[in-house]
Structure 1
Amino acid sequence: MVNTVAYAVLALTIVLDVAGQVCFKLGLNRSAGSAGPRSFWRRVAGTPLIWAGVAAYAIDLGAWLFVLSRVPLSLAVPLASLSYCGIALAGRLLLGERLSPRRWAGTVLIALGAAIVSTTA
């Protein structure tokens, strides 16, 4: 039986994944340019939002290892796919991205798949 703490930490990994991706996207949007690769990497390395994304991923790694030590892999990974749903929503709500009906349908299918996996023994 999976305990409540493990599920809570799994939810945290989803939130951290979404936060990291949003930080990366916002950081890259703000540091974008058409210069060469060296200049690009210098700008990226100097962007605080990129470092916030790296920090979110570092914490996510520790949390994910905790989850894997307590939750079956065949349950943890499908539930972690909910981060795709969170990223689609964050893209729409925070970044103003347009999502096609097909992308919404795919997002709903991922959520339904995670729900099915989480309710099966």
Structure 2
Amino acid sequence: MKAQLLLFAVLGSVLAALGQVSFKQGANGHIALADFVNMWIFTGLVLYGVGTLLWILALSAVPLTVLYPFAALTYVLVNVLAVVLLGERLTPRGLAGTALVLAGLFLVASSFEVNDAQP
């Protein structure tokens, strides 16, 4: 069960990253508040909302010290999506920083055992 909840946390991070990309698309070139009421912004809000629900579900049974490092996954995914979907460039320093965040996430996440037998 806890492994499934960790999957929910990962999906929540993916949805949050997609929400950020949607926000960027909806905000591009706009300055007036009324311009931010568009389908991209609405889509980003929905993605964030669903991601938040998955995150809360995961929080219901997984220790925060195990789960919270997965929030860093959102940072990595946003960088990847910005490059792939938006055509943005990642500098060598940005790439190195993203790799360090990913390495840190791996270290923290792999230091905990997910035991389905525990409540």
* TM-score past 0.5 threshold: yes
Which of 30, 35, 53 matches 1:62?
Answer: 53
The SS at the match of 1:71 is: coil
Q: CA RMSD in A?
A: 1.3
Change (3 A) 1:11 1:85: same
- Looking at structure 1, the residues matched to 100 and 66 of structure 2 have their Cα atoms a distance apart, in angstroms, of 17
1:25-77 deviation line (CA, Å, top 9, x unaligned): 01111xx245xxxxx111111x1010000111111121111111111111211
Q: Percent identity of the aligned residues?
A: 33
In structure 1, list runs of 5 or more residues that go unmatched. Answer: 35-39
Q: Which amino acid aligns with 1:101?
A: P
Where in structure 2 are the equivalents of 1:1-121 lying within 5 Å? 3-29=2-28, 32-33=29-30, 40-45=32-37, 47-121=38-112
TM-score, normalised relative to structure 1: 0.87
The SS at the match of 2:23 is: helix
How many equivalent residue pairs?
A: 112
Cα offset for 1:13? 0.4
The SS at the match of 2:86 is: coil
Tell me which stretches of 4 or more aligned residues in structure 1 moved more than 2 Å. none
- Looking at structure 2, the residues matched to 99 and 28 of structure 1 have their Cα atoms a distance apart, in angstroms, of 20
Q: Is the 8 A contact 2:6 2:67 kept in 1?
A: no
Aligned to 1:37: none
